[in-house]
Amino acid sequence: MKMKDNAKFISFNKEAYEGLNNYLLNQVDSIKNTFILVDNNTYKYCIPILFSRIDSFKESNIININPGEEEKNIYTCIHVCKTLEKLKANRKSLIINLGGGVITDIGGFIASIFKRGIRFVNIPTTLLGMVDASIGYKTGVNLDSIKNEIGSFHIPEFLIIDTHFLKTLPKKEIYSGIAEMLKHGLIADKNFWEDLNHIKNITNLDIIQWNRFIHQSILIKQKIVDQDPKENGLRKILNFGHTIGHALESYFMNKNKKITHGVAVVMGMVCESWISYKRNGLSIDDYTKIKSILTTLYPMQKIIYDLSGLEIKKILIIMEHDKKNEKNKIQFSLLKKIGKCSYNCQVPYDLIKESFFK
Ligand SMILES: NC(=O)c1ccc[n+]([C@@H]2O[C@H](COP(=O)([O-])OP(=O)(O)OC[C@H]3O[C@@H](n4cnc5c(N)ncnc54)[C@H](O)[C@@H]3O)[C@@H](O)[C@H]2O)c1
Ligand SMILES: [Zn+2]
């Protein structure tokens, strides 16, 4: 499973949209057979930019859904499929996912099942979408509070990275994306991690030259995915911080206390770094550096210390449903050192609990 030749991993430049425009002219029977999936926010902020890039999109169909992780479920997919049906979509239709990870996950999944699979294009509009969610062919939705329980692998025709979209993205969403970039550094590239650490000294995020960071982050993820597209082994290292992080994200979503995916992953990475120190040879020095950077950049992550023993028990129960589990054992990806990660690690319950209080 490889990225298609015509798919492009490039920051915004004329060429990227020119490629898509040519594709629309030559490979799509009519622009009216193109369906742009957006949420209320990307409809407001990103559609005007997309229309200014490719004028003919004005004639396509727009399908607008509510924003947010709560919408990432099978009922939304059914609603979108019914809308596609009503608008007479067929096997030659093309879905354009214009949005964050929620939109690319939902839209990619629908493209993989609607009429047994149609083509799609990802145009991520969040930092997290650009560096992570739209890379690696995973699509899917949540089943109640179990994250990404229903899904598929489906390859987009095109991937366009246009950093112009980041201008309207709320600051907390920018930090959410930075969390995944930090993870890429921690698991596979120490220099990149150190480079990113400088962000802690920057108060005005607008001055950051995103292209370089995004490009590097995509390269790290893509290199891992190319070696193990279906996550039989190595790709599991991308789950660092996510065993605990996903459980926290589900737990807080149920409690109506919204946290971004990135903050959940940061909390997960702090806990799992402690476990890495206790079980996987991570030095105390590396652990201390990781904790210091993550807690400085994400003061919000401290809400984890307010969790009661009973709440942590509930979070552990959520972890037992994690689809990464094998033989009924919760699986972790743990750091060996900054820039190197192991996978398929099992951890005693007491140590998981202990990591919440460190
Ligand atoms: N498939 C994968 O491999 C993969 C990898 C990582 C994460 N994910 C998934 O991605 C999702 C998180 O994605 P996300 O963080 O992008 O969240 P999101 O899609 O919910 O977007 C965050 C918020 O930003 C708004 N928004 C998006 N673009 C905007 C813009 N340019 N200007 C203003 N507002 C904008 C959205 O409407 C939303 O309110 C999670 O569901 C996670 O599971 C998937
Ligand atoms: Zn993630």
* 265 alpha carbon – ligand 2 mean position (Å): 6
Cβ-in-10-Å burial (0-12, 13-18, 19+) of 68 comes to middle
Q: Is the pLDDT of residue 6 over 50?
A: no
Regarding whether 322 and 302 lie in a shared domain, the answer is yes
Regarding whether 220 and 140 lie in a shared domain, the answer is no
Regarding whether 189 and 316 lie in a shared domain, the answer is yes
Which has the closest alpha carbon to 7: 152, 137, 165? 137
Q: Nearest 5 degrees, angle CA 264-CA 173-CA 53? A: 140
Q: How far apart are CA 178 and CA 198, in angstroms?
A: 12
**Residue 11 confidence (pLDDT):** 46
106 found inside a domain: yes
Q: Is the pLDDT of residue 209 over 90?
A: no
Tokens of 172: 């907390």
* 120 alpha carbon – ligand 2 mean position (Å): 22
CATH number of domain containing 195: 1.20.1090.10
Regarding whether 60 and 20 lie in a shared domain, the answer is yes
Share of the chain above pLDDT 90, in %: 75
8 found inside a domain: no
338 found inside a domain: yes
Regarding whether 73 and 40 lie in a shared domain, the answer is yes
Q: How far apart are CA 77 and CA 19, in angstroms?
A: 29
* 322 alpha carbon – ligand 2 mean position (Å): 14
- Structural domain including 266 reads 175-355
Regarding whether 226 and 102 lie in a shared domain, the answer is no
Is residue 240 within 6 Å of ligand 1 at its C-beta? Answer: no
Is residue 133 within 6 Å of ligand 1 at its C-beta? Answer: yes
Tokens of 267: 């909390």
Inter-residue contact 108 to 154 (CB < 8 Å)? yes
Which of 6-10, 23-27, 94-98 shows the lowest mean pLDDT across its residues? 6-10
Q: How confident is the model at residue 323 (pLDDT cuts 50, 70, 90)?
A: low
Is residue 173 within 6 Å of ligand 1 at its C-beta? Answer: yes
Tokens of 225: 């995915």
pLDDT tens for residues 137-173?
Answer: 999 999 987 889 999 999 999 899 999 999 999 999 9
Q: How confident is the model at residue 12 (pLDDT cuts 50, 70, 90)?
A: low
Is residue 39 within 6 Å of ligand 1 at its C-beta? Answer: yes
19 found inside a domain: yes
Query: Domain ends where: 134, 168, 202?
Result: 168
> Of the spans 25-34, 36-45, 149-158, which averages the highest pLDDT?
36-45
Closest Cα to atom 33, ligand 1: which residue? 169
| Closest-lying ligand 1 atom to the alpha carbon of residue 168 | 32
Query: Domain ends where: 119, 141, 168?
Result: 168
Is residue 338 within 6 Å of ligand 1 at its C-beta? Answer: no
4 found inside a domain: no
7 found inside a domain: no
Regarding whether 249 and 291 lie in a shared domain, the answer is yes
123: β partners? 98
Query: Domain ends where: 168, 191, 218?
Result: 168
Regarding whether 84 and 203 lie in a shared domain, the answer is no
* 242 alpha carbon – ligand 2 mean position (Å): 7
- Measured from the alpha carbon of residue 165, the closest ligand is 1
Regarding whether 180 and 123 lie in a shared domain, the answer is no
* 263 alpha carbon – ligand 2 mean position (Å): 10
pLDDT tens for residues 340-356?
Answer: 999 999 999 899 999 99
Q: Is the pLDDT of residue 268 over 60?
A: yes
pLDDT tens for residues 59-110?
Answer: 999 999 999 999 999 999 999 999 999 999 999 999 999 999 999 999 999 9
3 found inside a domain: no
Hey, how many other C-beta atoms are within 10 angstroms of the C-beta on 171?
Answer: 8
Contact partners, residue 104, CB within 8 Å, separation at least 6: 97, 122, 124, 129, 133, 134, 139
CATH number of domain containing 115: 3.40.50.1970
2 found inside a domain: no
Total number of domains constituting the chain: 2
Q: Is the pLDDT of residue 251 over 60?
A: yes
Q: How far apart are CA 182 and CA 294, in angstroms?
A: 9
Is residue 101 within 6 Å of ligand 1 at its C-beta? Answer: yes
